[in-house]
Chain A
Amino acid sequence: AQKVTQAQTEISVVEKEDVTLDCVYETRDTTYYLFWYKQPPSGELVFLIRRNSFDEQNEISGRYSWNFQKSTSSFNFTITASQVVDSAVYFCALTSGTYKYIFGTGTRLKVLA
């Protein structure tokens, strides 16, 4: 069975601090895809990144970076120099096909001014 674990329920940081959100996944499939979504207070899920299992290269997009490590089944998300606008719930998700995403329970990030 597939599973996504986001062990951090809530994280609070002060603005300009760096913060890492953890995501650990379980799957027996060799081909799979991992995602991160942001859910601001408005509720809409905003797509951030998609990564397939054959591409372990880390990615950086502005203040956001992602570290994918198959050896530890982790796909962690780091925000550098956090801002108040980063406050949201962040979800990690996994799919191997069959149209079904397996979502983690989310990590609520609070960035304090």
Chain B
Amino acid sequence: SQTIHQWPATLVQPVGSPLSLECTVEGTSNPNLYWYRQAAGRGLQLLFYSVGIGQISSEVPQNLSASRPQDRQFILSSKKLLLSDSGFYLCAWSRLADTDTQYFGPGTRLTVL
């Protein structure tokens, strides 16, 4: 069966510091991968998605970036965090078809102070 991992689970960072969140998927090959952000009490916003190694599509312009160095690894980064970057970050995967069900990881709660 497939599993998706995210770390760290929680993170408190000062404004202006860098960020690196990691997501890995096990039990499948060539997954589509996604990064979402959920602000407090709100819905989910798609940030990035990837259909393959090195292929990243950005949905929302911001100071975040994503990379996919390996087939089942997806990384969310920032060079300088802003207060507005605080939120709950969820990684998801799906099979190749773009309408396939997305399955979510446990999430990372980021607080920028």
A residues neighboring B (CB under 8 Å): 33, 35, 37, 42-47, 50, 91, 95-101, 103-106
**Interface size of B in residues (CB-CB distance below 8 Å):** 23
Chain B residues closer than 8 Å to A97, beta-carbon distance: 98-99
Given A99-B49, A103-B43, A105-B42, decide whether A43 and B99 contact each other with a Cβ distance below 8 A: no
B40-76 contact mask (Cβ, 8 Å, vs A): 1 or 0: 0011101001010000010100000000000000000
4 smallest beta-carbon distances between A and B, as pairs: A45-B104, A43-B107, A105-B43, A103-B43
B residues neighboring A (CB under 8 Å): 32, 34, 42-44, 46, 49, 51, 57, 59, 88, 90, 92, 98-99, 101-107, 109
Determine which of A37, A43, A45, A95 lies in contact with B109 in the assembled complex, contact meaning CB atoms within 8 Å: A43
> How far is it, in angstroms, between the C-alpha of A95 and the C-alpha of B104 when the chains are bound?
16
Tally of contacts, chain A with chain B, CB under 8 A: 51
Considering only CB atoms, which chain A residue lies closest to B34 in the complex? A99
Given A91-B43, A98-B98, decide whether A43 and B103 contact each other with a Cβ distance below 8 A: no
Given A33-B99, A96-B99, A99-B34, decide whether A42 and B106 contact each other with a Cβ distance below 8 A: yes
Residue contact A35 to B105, C-beta cutoff 8 Å: no
Residue contact A100 to B46, C-beta cutoff 8 Å: yes
Residue contact A44 to B104, C-beta cutoff 8 Å: yes
Chain A residues closer than 8 Å to B105, beta-carbon distance: 44
Residue contact A95 to B90, C-beta cutoff 8 Å: no
Residue contact A95 to B88, C-beta cutoff 8 Å: no
- Can you give 16 A-B contacts (C-beta < 8 A)? A35-B101, A37-B104, A43-B107, A44-B90, A44-B104, A44-B106, A45-B90, A45-B92, A91-B43, A95-B98, A97-B98, A97-B99, A99-B32, A99-B49, A99-B98, A105-B43
Chain B residues closer than 8 Å to A96, beta-carbon distance: 99
> How far is it, in angstroms, between the C-alpha of A106 and the C-alpha of B109 when the chains are bound?
18
> How far is it, in angstroms, between the C-alpha of A103 and the C-alpha of B59 when the chains are bound?
14
> How far is it, in angstroms, between the C-alpha of A82 and the C-alpha of B32 when the chains are bound?
35
